[in-house]
Amino acid sequence: MHEGFPYGSIEVISGGMFCGKSEELIRRVKRASIARLKVQVFKHSIDNRYNDILVTSHSGFTYEAHAVVNIEQIRKLLKPDTQVVGIDEAQFFSDSLPALCRELADNGIRVIVAGLDQDFMGRPFGPIPVLLAIAEHVDKLTAICMKCGRPATRSQRLIDGKPAPSDSPVIVVGASESYEARCRNCHEIDDRKLGLVEQELQ
Ligand SMILES: [Zn+2]
């Protein structure tokens, strides 16, 4: 169905961790490659490796992605004949990502963005909320809650197996932490900080 757009467009694939966002991005990119469209994929590299070519394999399909740390690097690496642009881990880019996506789509490029819609506290994450608003097509995928087995929309952050303190930073590189997919009911937030989340959402 997405192949039907005759001109530039923005598609967002969003949801919590483990919901299959990257796999869906790769599926669409693979189909575009089969259609002989010129494709470039970019992935935010949180640990500062940049301009590397990542080769990632999911379900037997290998694809190349430029590992970048900011939007300027995407601009530098973009080729003039590219027709489809994939952007993975999009939540880590700055607030100017929506402007770039709009510019590309206005110039006839199909832009496919994958990223987390909420951080570990359940707050809207980075540039994703704006992208959800300006996209032609949005898919919110769900994982499976690791506590109750229902569809999961949240990412539970755990440090030593316990819910992370709410005042821990959103992005920690190299920390010994883990994440679980959780549903709204099973997602645990420090009660003392819950008010702050609600304030931010108002
Ligand atoms: Zn649950």
Domain boundaries, the chain: 2-141, 151-201
Residue 26 CB neighbours (<10 A):
24
Q: Is 7 exposed, middle or buried (0-12, 13-18, 19+ CB in 10 A)?
A: exposed
- 123 C-alpha to ligand 1 centroid (Å): 18
- Predicted pLDDT at 17: 94
What's phi and psi for 118, nearest 5 deg?
-135, 150
Q: Would you give per-residue pLDDT tens digits along the chain (202 residues)?
A: 455 555 799 999 999 999 999 999 999 999 999 999 999 999 998 765 555 676 666 666 667 899 999 999 999 999 999 999 999 999 999 999 999 999 999 999 999 999 999 999 999 999 999 999 999 999 999 999 999 999 999 999 988 778 887 777 766 655 567 899 999 999 998 765 556 666 666 6
Give the pTM: 0.87
- 187 C-alpha to ligand 1 centroid (Å): 7
What's phi and psi for 196, nearest 5 deg?
-65, -40
Q: Report residue 56 as tokens.
A: 């990632």
Residues marked active site are found at 89
Q: Is 125 helix (H, G, I), strand (E, B) or coil?
A: coil
Q: May I ask the CATH class of domain 151-201?
A: alpha beta
- 52 C-alpha to ligand 1 centroid (Å): 38
All residues with CB under 5 Å from ion ligand 1: 145, 147-148, 150, 183, 186
Contact status, residue 123 vs residue 201, Cβ threshold 8 Å: yes
- 151 C-alpha to ligand 1 centroid (Å): 7
- 18 C-alpha to ligand 1 centroid (Å): 14
Q: What is the CATH number of domain 2-141?
A: 3.40.50.300
E strands, the chain, in order: 9-15, 39-44, 52-58, 61-68, 84-88, 110-116, 137-141, 143-144, 151-152, 154-159, 162-163, 177-182
